[in-house]
Amino acid sequence: MVAQLEVKPGSFKEVSGFVNIDPEKQTDDNDQPYAVVKVRTENIDNKQRRELNFQGDARTFFEIDYRDGEVWLYISYYASFIKISHPDLSSTEFYFPFDMKPKKGYELTLVNTASKESGKGSLTIKTKPESGAIIVLNGKVLNQKTPFTNDMIAAGQYEITVSKDRFKPATKIVTILDGENKTIEIEMPSDVAVVTLNADNQTDIYIDGIRKSRGTWKGELYSGNHDITYKKRDYHDSNRTIIVEAGKNKSFTLPMTPIFNDISITGYKFLTLNASINQYGNLSYGLTFGHLKESGWFVSAMSSFDFTGYKPDYECDEDMLVNGCYPGYNGNTSYTAVSIIGGFIMRIVGPLSFKVGAGYGMRAKCYETTNGYWVKYTDISAQGLDLTAGLQYYFRGWVISLDGVTTNFKIYEAKIGLGFGIRNK
């Protein structure tokens, strides 16, 4: 293999913003400030790099710091040239194209050139902890994944980058000599961590805008920032950006704030006192009792507490005639109302709930005759099916309801209720 050291043309330049801050390497033996030259290398392995020798003229001083991929040369800023040599790779002299400045940083690239007839070698690339990584060799993506072997690879220096899902890319530089069989194993650092997001089974969890689960989620996330959102009925969305560090498993719980601070999420039992009025101005009163969580039930009983209409003596229609005769009325009236309803109640949002129910009802309007008989006015009386629908609202222990009730779709009532609710434990 023919090898020759040379400084890559045009590679010497000042490093903008670089200042020598190493307290141990500030001045040379003449108490003159050092400049720093970063000698980058190509086609030179780590062992060869540490065997490089540096010389200057009699008045030039050096301090050398060998690093991965480069050598830091602390040199008298007034030096005019350096000679770089290696026992196996020949030598080269480089004259600085401009004067260096004290404490400033510079760089150049040292190359081991080799002729095209430098020979062949063998290269095997393995990865851990897992195989199947994508290989980029000197900037070219190979068709084969690890483990990879090329028994006829040209001798020279190669930059190898491997990458795989769930791992960080890793790079290694290797030099293949003529006739050399080289196997390298590149360790890929993990790029994920196991993250647990704690929540109850009513909470939807979103990661970076994608719904992941309802209830606690556990899985792998890539290192870096992730936006977490918790969503739950009757609560404000809870948002947080978490930082995931590769290999460091973590657990998170996001606090959630109720939209309605007074709503009992566990539900409540309720009792209300009700009053209703129909389209003719007649009133009745009663109670409603029930239980609500997400959904529940209720029963309601209403009455006018006047039972004359249960067994009237006669009936009349709109002309007020009884058996074709006008009996004569003394002006007294009575209104009999009885309603027993059971139904279903369901929370809509927060403290607001919807009610619907059915049962038995009777509404009877009666007039008294001059001789003491009671006559039921059938046009504004009804008996049979009662239907109801309405809304109920819970606020700091108080319950307010508003319902519509109809008997056979003939008599209509508006019913309002006020009472209290006792939260479930």
Residue 343's CATH number: 2.40.160.20
Report the number of distinct structural domains present in the chain: 4
Answer yes or no: do 358 and 278 share one domain: yes
* Structure confidence at residue 324 as a pLDDT band (50, 70, 90): confident
> With the C-alpha atoms ordered 309, 315, 321, 326, is the resulting torsion angle positive or negative?
negative
Answer yes or no: do 238 and 363 share one domain: no
Domain contains 151: yes
Which of 147, 162, 187 finishes a domain? 187
Residue 158's CATH number: 2.60.40.10
Answer yes or no: do 283 and 404 share one domain: yes
pLDDT in tens, 46-71: 888 889 999 888 888 888 988 877 89
pLDDT in tens, 339-387: 999 999 999 887 899 999 999 999 999 999 999 999 999 999 999 999 9
Which of 88, 114, 140 finishes a domain? 114
pLDDT in tens, 282-320: 999 999 999 998 899 999 999 999 999 899 999 998 889
Domain contains 155: yes
Query: Do the Cβ atoms of 92 and 52 come closer than 8 Å?
Result: no
Query: Do the Cβ atoms of 345 and 399 come closer than 8 Å?
Result: no
* Rounded Cα gap, residues 40 and 19, in angstroms: 18
- Percent of the chain whose pLDDT exceeds 90: 62
Domain contains 177: yes
- Fill in the amino acid letter for 261: N
* Structure confidence at residue 13 as a pLDDT band (50, 70, 90): very high
pLDDT in tens, 129-144: 999 999 999 889 999 9
Calculate ∠ Cα 257-260-262, nearest 5°.
Answer: 110
Answer yes or no: do 109 and 10 share one domain: yes
pLDDT in tens, 197-237: 999 999 999 999 999 999 999 999 999 999 999 999 878 99
- Structure token digits, residue 141: 């993506």
What is the predicted pLDDT for the residue at 385? 96
Answer yes or no: do 137 and 203 share one domain: no
* Rounded Cα gap, residues 229 and 240, in angstroms: 7
- Structure token digits, residue 137: 């060799």
Which of 56, 79, 114 finishes a domain? 114
Calculate ∠ Cα 201-204-209, nearest 5°.
Answer: 160
* Rounded Cα gap, residues 349 and 352, in angstroms: 6
Answer yes or no: do 63 and 10 share one domain: yes
Res 162 pLDDT > 80: yes
CB atoms within 10 A of CB 322: 16
H or E element that contains 276: strand 268-278
Domain contains 263: no
Domain contains 307: yes
What is the residue range of 198's domain? 192-253
Answer yes or no: do 281 and 412 share one domain: yes
pLDDT in tens, 257-284: 887 655 445 688 999 999 999 999 999 9
* Rounded Cα gap, residues 364 and 309, in angstroms: 5
What is the predicted pLDDT for the residue at 261? 53
Calculate ∠ Cα 231-233-238, nearest 5°.
Answer: 30
Answer yes or no: do 39 and 126 share one domain: no
Please state whether 10 falls in left (phi above 0), alpha (psi between -120 and 50) or beta: left
- Structure token digits, residue 41: 């290398």
Domain contains 110: yes
Domain contains 260: no
Answer yes or no: do 400 and 302 share one domain: yes
What is the predicted pLDDT for the residue at 265? 54
Residue with the two structure tokens 């002729």 = 115
Residue 72: which of 24, 138, 6 has the closest Cα? 24
Answer yes or no: do 412 and 272 share one domain: yes
Domain contains 30: yes
pLDDT in tens, 79-118: 999 999 888 878 888 999 999 998 899 999 998 876 444 5
Rg value, the chain, Cα: 46
Answer yes or no: do 285 and 402 share one domain: yes
For the entire predicted model, the pTM comes to 0.45
What is the predicted pLDDT for the residue at 260? 65
What is the predicted pLDDT for the residue at 186? 94
What is the predicted pLDDT for the residue at 425? 67
User: Parallel, antiparallel, or unpaired: how do β-strands 268-278 and 411-423 relate?
Assistant: antiparallel
* Rounded Cα gap, residues 308 and 151, in angstroms: 111
Residue 202's CATH number: 2.60.40.1120
* Rounded Cα gap, residues 95 and 161, in angstroms: 35
Answer yes or no: do 107 and 142 share one domain: no
